[in-house]
Amino acid sequence: QKEVEQNSGPLSVPEGAIASLNCTYSDRGSQSFFWYRQYSGKSPELIMFIYSNGDKEDGRFTAQLNKASQYVSLLIRDSQPSDSATYLCAVNEGQTGANNLFFGTGTRLTVIP
């Protein structure tokens, strides 16, 4: 399977701080990049997607993509305790055209009140 690498964490940040989550991927043909949030015992939910190099902002979340470096990141501003979850990076399979997503193992984020 394609490699999608994330630091497993845990990453701890104080409430109100910026949380920075990073992801690298191996498939240079990948075109679509997604961030999912998964609470313990629950299913993943989509929070951000990005297709083009640069930044994309949505509320407190900013996704950053650098295809040359094969790197995608997620910034969470003004972190809240409710943001405590595992964040999964997902990258589409770009070579065969099937375009199914491959996921990293996730980074566990804890926001300390």
Partner 1 sequence: NAGVMQNPRHLVRRRGQEARLRCSPMKGHSHVYWYRQLPEEGLKFMVYLQKENIIDESGMPKERFSAEFPKEGPSILRIQQVVRGDSAAYFCASSRSPFDGYTFGSGTRLTVV
**Under the rule (CB under 8 A), what is the footprint of partner 1?**
1, 31-32, 34, 42-46, 49, 88, 92-93, 96, 98-106
Tell me whether residue 17 or residue 38 sits nearer to partner 1 (CB atom): 38
Q: Least Å distance between CB 107 and partner 1?
A: 10
- Rounded to 5 degrees, φ, ψ at 23 are -155, 135
- Rounded to 5 degrees, φ, ψ at 68 are -60, -40
Q: Least Å distance between CB 93 and partner 1?
A: 8
- CB 66, CB 55: distance < 8 Å: no
Q: Least Å distance between CB 16 and partner 1?
A: 28
d(CA 8, CA 25): 15
